[in-house]
Amino acid sequence: MNPEGIPEQLGWIFGRRSVRAYGPGAIGDDQVEILLRAAMAAPSAVAKDPWRFVVVRDRSLLARLAGNLSNGSMLDQAPLGIVVAGDLHAAHDRQLSYLLQDCAAAIENLLLSAHGLGLGACWLGIHPRQHRIDFVTNLLCLPEAVIPVACIALGQPAETKEPRSRFNPAWVHRDRW
């Protein structure tokens, strides 16, 4: 156990932080495949796997994403962005809520895997902001039923952050509220 009472084997989870500054260095196709495999290992309602991914390396596309996603300026220096989207036709009962839950699980797997590979990553929300959804849909030519949920900026980390948790016992209720 560490000083905060966290078992050592879980320390890597608490070390995963949003990295917004990237240094030089590419992310190879082999690493991208590992990240995508990890993302697709996430749980999914009725195993429908509605997640879809657009790997963006094109500098002009990354710059446009950076300029149009609030707090997304780090995409301008990231060597890679992955847009996580969901196909509404593939989602359980074609329900947006299931699509979003499934994509969120895939995103967290991707973020944890990036950290495990020594990469820096930052989750940028797209859904539910309609102007962001429309922009990314048009920019990346997404089909009508494919809804962009988030964009993940990825790169070699140029900043280090201390592990942490935002645990708050006041937010935990036992048996009843």
Half-sphere exposure (Cβ direction) of 83: Cα atoms closer than 13 Å: 27
Identify the CA nearest to 147 among candidates 137, 162, 157, 132: 137
The pLDDT value given to residue 3: 55
Map out the domains of the chain with their CATH numbers: 45-158 (3.40.109.10)
Q: How far apart are CA 94 and CA 46, in angstroms?
A: 12
* CB atoms inside a 10 Å sphere around CB 111: 23
Grouping H, G, I as helix, E, B as strand and the rest as coil, residue 90 is coil
The 10s digit of each residue's pLDDT in 77-116 is: 999 999 999 999 999 999 999 999 999 999 999 999 999 9
The pLDDT value given to residue 66: 98
- Give Cα separations from 165 to 3, 12, 149, 152, 172 (angstroms): 13, 12, 24, 21, 14
10-residue averages of pLDDT along the chain (177 residues): 75 94 97 98 98 98 97 97 98 98 98 98 98 98 98 97 93 98
Identify the CA nearest to 155 among candidates 19, 64, 30: 19
Identify the CA nearest to 82 among candidates 31, 19, 154: 154
The pLDDT value given to residue 2: 61
